[in-house]
Amino acid sequence: NVIFGATMFTEVLVALAIGGLILFLVRRSRTQALKTEDGWWGAGLPPGSGEDITVRPFQVATSDEELEDLYRRIDQTRPVPSLEDSQFNYGFNSQSLHKVVSYWRNDFDWRRHVDKLNRYPHFKTNIEGIDIHYLHVKPKKVPEGSAAVPLIMVHGWPGSFYEFYGLIPLLTEPSDPQDLVFEVVCPSIPGYGFSEAPHKKGFDSVCAAHIFHKLMKRLGFQKFYAHGGDWGWLVTTNMAQLEPGIVKGLHVNFAPPSKPGLPMALSIMLGRRFPKMFGFSDMDVQRLFPCMEKLVVESIKESGYMHIQATKPDTVGRGLNDSPVGLAAYILEKFSTWTSRDFRNLEDGGLTRKFSLDDLLTNVMIYWTSGCIVPSMRFYKENFGKGLNQPHSKIPVYVPTGFACFPNELIHTPKLWVEQKYRKLVTFTPMAHGGHFAAMEEPQLMAEDIQNFTKTVEKKKKE
């Protein structure tokens, strides 16, 4: 009995010790926040005086000289014939590109689209030595007794703030009186669009997140929601990791696994045979378990751009910066393949099945007129060049999170995997259709999901 009692006592002590260690680790991970410091990304040394916090109105503009230069370069392009029966499997099909460029040169009215871009108020403000461009769209009408919900939305590559133009009015002027009304801020990531490019090495997603926190504070927002896809997913995720008390909720439509753990490994090994054990849907099984060879081949087919941009962006970028036709081919090929991989087998890449040529060329013109293709590509080198095991990849997100799961996204992430990173996953919505550029392709679906997520979070806070 004495031995038995001693054994039991030892086991209890061990159990308490293990339990205490687990509790310590859980609490430690919950309190762990991403750390960063102020930077200086302007040219030269920072000035001795304080930071200029002025907010200046900005308008997109064009000129006869800008258009004449564009047309001259288009006219001097040297066509290259595509291989027979190649569609978009070798890249942008030349016959289709000729039609797009002909429309761009002869029918696309850039001045009219400049007016469309200026439909919403644009501003610039200097943060850490560089001018940050952003839209700030306030609702025209807010129901009595309520307040507008502040929301920052961050784009990715090769997109821009223009991706959100179909989504903004659905959030700031919803047709359903039961819907929340949002006040929207859409910044351009530094080096993209009309935001100044960093002049120094090292500007990664955490630096962008830090700057966008400063931007929101400068605009007077003490707390706000955030939404992002592509790079916007990582920037807004970093915002939630940097200051989780300020980001009320995080909504994303892209969430590739950042740090594979035991649950993910087990689900990969056993998920095909025991899908219910891991909560896998039919779509999960279909997207995750083709033969391994097919997964590898598909990855190689669609990731070449990433290897270039993560290593030597300035080399290929210089050619794209000089050639509008090359730039259009490079950017628009992504709007084909990343919207649906099946579009590779179409002569026209399916470009106008989901988007209008006017919208696609407006996005291209933002890159062309701002000359931002090289710095936008450098963002890959700054993020991947530091290795995959960065501090933010190890830190879970404890901000309430919503995930919109679009079926044609580049990387499929089942709910189980999302929850490994986002520990307070409030909503997970399998979407009926849509691909990588979801905000631009399916603004109505995206608006509905942002509404549902935000309402759910607000309700939980009240309870």
Give φ, ψ of 152 to 5 degrees.
-100, 135
For 317-356, b/e burial (b = at least 16 CB within 10 A) is beebbebbbbbbbbbbbbbbbbbbbebbebebbbbeebbe
380 noted as active-site residue: yes
Given the residues 367, 380, 422, 449, the one annotated as active site: 380
User: Strand locations in 155-271, DSSP E?
Assistant: 182-187, 224-228, 247-252
Q: Tokens at residue 110, please?
A: 């850039």
Question: DSSP assignment, residue 57?
Answer: E
The beta-carbon contacts of 386-390 under 8 Å, at least 24 apart in sequence, are 386/204, 390/206
Q: Which of 179, 204, 230, 359 is catalytic?
A: 230
Residue 255 DSSP label: -
With 0-12 / 13-18 / 19 or more C-beta atoms within 10 angstroms meaning exposed / middle / buried, residue 358 is middle
Coil, strand or helix: which one is 278? helix
Catalytic residue chosen out of the listed positions 155, 251, 392, 436:
436
Instruction: Decide if 393 contacts 255 (C-beta within 8 A).
Output: no
**Catalytic residue flag (residue 230):** yes
- The total of other beta-carbon atoms located within 10 Å of residue 120's CB is 18
162 is catalytic: no
Query: Phi and psi (nearest 5°) for 382?
Result: -65, -35
b/e burial code for range 16-44 (CB count within 10 A of at least 16 → b)? eeeeeeeeeeeeeeeeeebebeebbbbee
Whether the ω angle into residue 158 lies within 30 degrees of 0, i.e. cis, is yes
Tokens 């579009």 belong to 343
Q: State both tokens at 17.
A: 């010790």
Helix, strand, coil percentages, rounded to 5, for the chain: 50, 15, 40
Q: Which residues are catalytic?
A: 230, 380, 436
